Amino acid sequence: MIVANQKPRANIGESLVQMQVISAEQLQSALQLQKERGEKLSEILISQGIIRAEELASFLSIEWNIPLIDLKTHVVQPEALQLIPERMARRHTLIPLNIMGESLVVVMADPDDYNAIGDVFTQTGMRIEVAFANATDIRRAIDIYYRANEEIQDKVTKYAPTGLAGAKDYPDFAADTPITKSLDLIIEQAARDRASDIHLEPQGDKLRIRYRIDGILHDVNFLPLSAHAELASRIKILAEMDVARSRQAQDGQFSVTIGNTNIDIRVATTNTIYGERIVLRLLDKSLSLFTLPEIGFLPETLKKYRPLLHYPFGMVLVGGPTGSGKTTTLYTSINELDHKKHNIMTIEDPVEYQFENISQSQVDPKAGITFAGGLKAMLRQDPDVILVGEIRDKDTAVTAVQAAMTGHLVFSSIHANDAISILPRLIDLGVEPSLVSTILIANVAQRMVRRICPNCRAAFAPSPQEQEIFAREMSQELTAVYKGTGCHLCANTGYRGRIGIFEMLVMSEAIKKLLLNNASVSELKDLAVREGMLTMKRDGLIKVREGITTLEEVTQSIFGIG
């Protein structure tokens, strides 16, 4: 048996007495109860109120020199969970946390329980890294994680397919059935893991379930393919979609409450050779918005951007590909405005977050409500500030420009690769160059990169290639690069959370003049850089230098290379 951090340890009770955490009399009383009840000494001490669980956990972590794990913030990895049966985890009050190379990290309530460590070693054959948490937190984690994996497997395996034809023919399907519970568990685990999307992908002989976390897809479960039809039908019923239609793409949405959190879920289906592929996007409306610095605006960019938010009229556009965080930037921007003094209105698809004192509208093609139509109706409501979720077509582009020209401050997003490319994109959509130069205040372009996990961030000497890339763009030496070495908090990825990298083009008189003279994109960019525009690449490299993200993330997000 190999235990990586195994070493002789003093008796818990004696150590507590020596450190004057408890008295000798209290220890003797607890030992007597231990003989009578057969419970662990630590549990006796806590149940008798001699010491609080948090105090004991901190003491033992320091005394034994082993990591103290907060299971409320650490994510238990499915790959590790599958190595130890639930019965063994409950018997020994432990939970496997993560796989690190050839080692299995196991969180235990009693790291001195070598019988338990031996059982884990026999079960897995792996090197054991011992960590510590109090028993109550471990039992809660066992309830949550094994329920979200083994229970799903158990329920869907035993649930025979019924060949649903439609919800109206099966009125009890939405009741407390195994498939209903399984879907609930899948969504609960996704919310707990901070997933933005759930992918249900039928394959040749199984149903693959993946979560997108921090922009990256992760396998979390594989279910029998026989579960697919029932899960798909349940999702369609919740999203008010046609259960009988399986070959045509459909969209829908529903809401769930997990604890005190309200989550809207957008559903999209499409047909594949193995059946319907379903993606559920999770929108947590209870999340508080970030500030502009928190989403990645550097002080240099922020100094130029914030004054633009208080212009009486004009247009500010945010560009980037799908998933680059444009909506977050728009929301964060209007959240900085005075909601009480201004009449702020939005037309969105969908309404992802709700604001107080802002009138928000939802695009609804079935009801004839489009971006352009909703915007036209909005103009009759005396707005000061308007947010248009996305400019997709000529009608929306022209109407938004007209709104900006008639005394409104308009924010919107548009698909474009960088800040300069937004200009020809608007023109391609049918807006005259003279109007673009007149009404456009600024363009912001962005990408999302993963943040280095602050818990395991470490400095390294940059490679010659990293030095070259940095020096070529920044004209200075890169003294260190930072990377996450992998820990329990970041699921051993080295990253936790995401942040934006930005560039902002302010429409100066010189830029406007060049645009009216039909200048090329490269000519416009050269002038913008000369006028002080911080490019996305430079913005990203500053964040590399400051240890916020990695060079791989920046190059991958901008150029698609790693």
- Number of Cβ atoms within 10 Å of the Cβ of 559: 9
Q: Are the C-beta atoms of 46 and 52 separated by less than 8 Å?
A: yes
Residues paired with 39 in a beta bridge: none
| pLDDT one-digit tens code per residue, 344-372 | 999 988 787 778 889 999 888 777 788 88
Report the amino acid identity of residue 250.
Q
Report whether pLDDT(4) > 60: no
DSSP string, 459-487: EEPPPHHHHHHHHHHHSS----EEEE---
pLDDT of residue 258: 80
Where do we find the tokens 């309530």? 109
492 Cβ contact partners less than 8 Å away, ≥ 6 residues apart: 77, 98, 99, 100, 486
Q: Are the C-beta atoms of 368 and 361 separated by less than 8 Å?
A: no
User: Average of pLDDT values for 175-197?
Assistant: 81
Pick the range with the lowest mean pLDDT from 285-299, 370-384, 496-510. Answer: 285-299
Position with higher pLDDT, 477 vs 53: 477
| pLDDT one-digit tens code per residue, 227-248 | 898 899 999 999 999 998 888 8
pTM over 0.75? The answer is no
Domains of the chain: 12-135 (3.30.300.160), 159-284 (3.30.450.90), 292-449+498-552 (3.40.50.300)
| pLDDT one-digit tens code per residue, 523-535 | 999 999 999 999 9
Q: Are the C-beta atoms of 358 and 339 separated by less than 8 Å?
A: yes
Report whether pLDDT(164) > 70: no
DSSP string, 542-561: HHHHTTSS-HHHHHHHHHS-
Nearest residue to 453 via CA among 129, 131, 130, 213? 213
Q: Are the C-beta atoms of 108 and 130 separated by less than 8 Å?
A: yes
